[in-house]
Structure 1
Amino acid sequence: MSVFALGLNHTTAPVDLRGRFAFAPEQLSPALRAFRENLQRVLPEAALLSTCNRTELYVAAEPAQVNGLVAPAIDWLAGHGGVSTDQLRHHTYVLEHRDAARHAFRVASGLDSMVLGEPQILGQMKQAVREADMAGTLGTTLHQLFQRTFSVAKDVRTSTEIGSHSISMAAASVRLAAQLFEDLRDIQVLFVGAGEMIELVATHFAARAPKGMAIANRTLERGEKLAGRFGAQALRLADLPHRLHEFDAIVSCTASTLPIIGLGAVRSALKARRHRPMFMVDLAVPRDIEPEVAALSDVYLYTVDDLSAQVQSAGEKRQAAVAQAEAIIDAGVQSFTHWLDQRASVPLIQALNRQADDWRAAEIARARKLLAKGADIDTVLEALSRGLTQKMLHGTMAELHASDGEQRAQMAQTVSRLFLRQTTRNPADDGR
């Protein structure tokens, strides 16, 4: 089997294009089944990873099929995003075999993220694997790839300082807000959504003790549960247009496919605020806040791409941690590639075992007949052993006789290596 990864991420595609290819968690399994149905005759293993920073399709198939699957995969993804195949090709990457494994290991370890070492991606990859398993598209090869991916990521987290040097999107959001407002204790903060990212951002803001916090969510019950943790109030999304003016800072991250906060609502809020500035962070892909909002003079709107520019290097310690992580990843790639190579020989090994069993069964049946006729047991054993060795060597001898020139020389070397191995004598065994 061979593996390839097809994807686009924050380094190859802008946020608005990435938004076209975002899959909500509940869309992953149906999308994987649709992908395989689109291929008709070929049924490869497949898994789909979709986050605010990337959408990646991992595919495993027989080596002879892999090259023929890349183009249909790009066509299928382009169709999902509603763009032409040519346009998508400009923003995608295709990585095969060991390069695909290295990429998966780096992604899970936080080395390929906007924020070096960010921890959320590992949970997102695990969810992608669960969804592929539920869709029936995971398979042995991708299961092995991702289990090794999780193991490598764990080693990187525990053996290096990658995580300790990371600045999360949540921390970057608070830092930007602190640059705009003189004292965060004097502001009202609104969080739109109730997922993991909003929980992280709310945790960081709560540590700065703002005057008030509110959480707006489509499902009020879930919003109330998260709000209860921070002593915040819970709002319905339907109430946002009438309450938006109350908040100085708004951070949004939902799975909505359409913007939740529009230009008109923000313009009205600014008017009610008498144009006091509003700080807005849109961590969603696709966007939760209409991009035209950024043009308003009293609004400071940041997207996930904008926040990546705020992440600063941690100097020599960070570089040392990256080097350590890459070494762990190199070892993981080597191990996975060796496993793949071994898997390639499994059908041959199985065929050899079946052939040997057939020969053995035939010779045993012949020996039993001879014994039943009263033949001498030593004569029967001699015939059985000779029959087995002749069957085992017949194909090899025939190939040797049929070859000539350099081909015969190469064949002779192979036969010598396989059948004329010399067992090294251990002097320590002499007295036994």
Structure 2
Amino acid sequence: MSVDVLTFGLNHVSAPVSVRERVSFPVDVLRPALDGLRSAFGASVREAAILSTCNRTEIYCAAEPQVQEHIPSWLADFNRLEAGSLRPHLYQYQQNDAVRHAFRVASGLDSMVLGEPQILGQMKDAVRAAEQAGSLGTLLHQLFQRTFSVAKEVRSQTAIGAHSVSMAAAAVRLAERVFGDLSQAGVLFIGAGEMIELCATHFAALKPKNMVVANRTLERAELLASRFVAKTMKLSDIPDRLADFDVIVSCTASSLPILGLGMVERATRSRRHRPMVMIDLAVPRDIETEVGRLADVYLYSVDDLGRMVQSGTDARRAAVVQAEAIIETRVQHFMHWLQSREIVPAIVSFQQSAEEVQQAELERARRMLARGDSPEAVLEQLARGLTQKYMHGPLAALNRSEGEERQQLLGLMPRLLPTVERRR
């Protein structure tokens, strides 16, 4: 059965954050999800990898074509959703389109922030997770290695990453809209991952009054805080200290909200209704959506920041055409490699048959030499025997053929027959 490259997923374009957060795969769920996917489809899914970020969840497969009808239902079932509610937001690609999509994602062409570099690292993390789960084979390994190479080529040969307007920079701008000068602001970062580190870098440049990092693992919080002369605290201390902060930026891997409506209401009362800016970059979300209804709270989700940064992408759009041309060329190269793999069994079988003929004729020649035949006669018989057996198959097929098939064989024979280079 043939194996195709298939991609299934949803992203910031096809689905709002309220849908994306329900089909995200935290790091500790990736292994069970990959095991469950292969268990559900058996040998029909040969290889698989899952990419899950705040902006997208995608499944990459090397699988038999018929599974594409059923994987969307598996994705819904695994996340305990109705398949009908998920399907309108899903896209799926096959073969060339799936390869092209992977190249575009890694190159930042499919990102909320055009040209952003974080997605490449996230894709590499997804590949490592698939390798550790034992779900990565030759086909997907080759696909992703070429994907990383294409992303590097696009970034080095085009201006797609120039003048970057990041989510972290957008977070700072939103806070400045409310408070103006941030030098007297208290900033709380919840989480200690890459996105929080980027945000902390941008906020630290404006020298706020104080910065605090809260994280489930205090050691990671202290490591990040030490880079920015910030303080740390436990997640359990947040309810009592939330009122101390003007800006809260949260991005954790928690499956449940960390900041609820009641907690934030109490904080606003303690602050005597001074405004708070709350930026939730997590998927699933860390802050209950109802918090946004409070009069003194300015709550922004990852989608809100995405819309804000779109205005800063014009300078890079001119590079998109060049990047797409690079990607299209590399897609063709990968598909050629993939098609070459499909004929390998036929080539191996042909070579084995040729070697069997060779061994049979050599054995016949050895017997002739052993009984005393002249070497010249043996060589002539060896050449004649090899030629006859080499010609038998094509000539027999030509004699049996008719009409259009015969014309096709006649056209192919000159290309299949060997040529002799004569020395002058």
Q: Same fold (TM over 0.5)?
A: yes
| Structure 2 residue aligned with 1:296 | 294
1:50 aligned onto 2:48: no
Cα distance in 2 for partners of 1:43, 1:300 equals 46
Shift of 1:145: 0.7
Which range is displaced more, 119-128 or 404-413?
404-413
| Structure 2 residue aligned with 1:25 | 27
| Structure 1 residue aligned with 2:138 | 140
Say which SS state the counterpart of residue 93 (structure 2) adopts. Answer: strand
Shift of 1:251: 0.4
Gaps of 5+ in 1: none
Question: Would you identify which runs of 4 or more consecutive aligned residues in structure 1 move more than 3 Å?
Answer: 312-317, 420-423
- Contact persistence 2:162–2:316 (CA under 8 A): no
**Aligned pairs (5 A) from 1:61-80:** 61=63, 65-66=64-65, 68-80=66-78
- Aligned-partner residue type, residue 150 of structure 1: F
C-alpha change, 1:350 and 1:325, in structure 2 (3 Å) is: same
Shift of 1:395: 1.7
1:216 aligned onto 2:214: yes
Cα distance in 2 for partners of 1:312, 1:410 equals 55
- Aligned-partner residue type, residue 317 of structure 2: Q
Shift of 1:422: 8.4
Which range is displaced more, 25-34 or 144-153?
25-34
- Contact persistence 1:6–1:57 (CA under 8 A): yes
Cα distance in 2 for partners of 1:409, 1:182 equals 80
Shift of 1:41: 4.0
CA RMSD of aligned residues (A): 1.6
- Contact persistence 1:117–1:165 (CA under 8 A): no
Say which SS state the counterpart of residue 232 (structure 2) adopts. Answer: strand
- Contact persistence 2:112–2:310 (CA under 8 A): no
Cα distance in 1 for partners of 2:287, 2:315 equals 37
Say which SS state the counterpart of residue 185 (structure 1) adopts. Answer: coil
1:6 aligned onto 2:8: yes
| Structure 2 residue aligned with 1:38 | 40
- Aligned-partner residue type, residue 23 of structure 2: F
- Aligned-partner residue type, residue 209 of structure 2: K
Shift of 1:405: 1.5
Cα distance in 1 for partners of 2:28, 2:332 equals 34
Say which SS state the counterpart of residue 165 (structure 1) adopts. Answer: coil
Match of 1:411 among 406, 409, 412: 409
**Aligned pairs (5 A) from 1:341-380:** 341-380=339-378
- Contact persistence 1:2–1:340 (CA under 8 A): no
Match of 1:91 among 89, 92, 98: 89
Shift of 1:420: 6.6
- Aligned-partner residue type, residue 55 of structure 1: T
| Structure 1 residue aligned with 2:62 | 60
Match of 2:398 among 390, 397, 400: 400
Cα distance in 1 for partners of 2:304, 2:38 equals 36
C-alpha change, 1:331 and 1:41, in structure 2 (3 Å) is: closer
Match of 2:255 among 257, 273, 294: 257
Cα distance in 2 for partners of 1:164, 1:334 equals 27
- Aligned-partner residue type, residue 46 of structure 2: P
Say which SS state the counterpart of residue 25 (structure 2) adopts. Answer: coil
Shift of 1:198: 0.3
What's the TM-score once normalised by structure 1's chain length?
0.94
Shift of 1:118: 0.9
1:154 aligned onto 2:152: yes
- Contact persistence 2:160–2:317 (CA under 8 A): no
Say which SS state the counterpart of residue 303 (structure 2) adopts. Answer: helix
Say which SS state the counterpart of residue 399 (structure 1) adopts. Answer: helix
Shift of 1:132: 0.9
Shift of 1:25: 2.0
**Aligned pairs (5 A) from 1:171-182:** 171-182=169-180
Shift of 1:337: 1.2
Shift of 1:315: 6.8
Cα distance in 1 for partners of 2:260, 2:362 equals 82
- Contact persistence 1:39–1:72 (CA under 8 A): no
**Aligned pairs (5 A) from 1:110-125:** 110-125=108-123
| Structure 2 residue aligned with 1:246 | 244
Identity of aligned residues (%): 57
Q: Deviations over 1:50-88 (max 9, x none)?
A: 000001000113xxx22x111231121111222122222
C-alpha change, 1:167 and 1:268, in structure 2 (3 Å) is: same
Cα distance in 2 for partners of 1:246, 1:391 equals 90
Cα distance in 2 for partners of 1:8, 1:294 equals 25
Q: Deviations over 1:362-398 (max 9, x none)?
A: 1111111111111111111122222222222222112
Say which SS state the counterpart of residue 309 (structure 1) adopts. Answer: helix
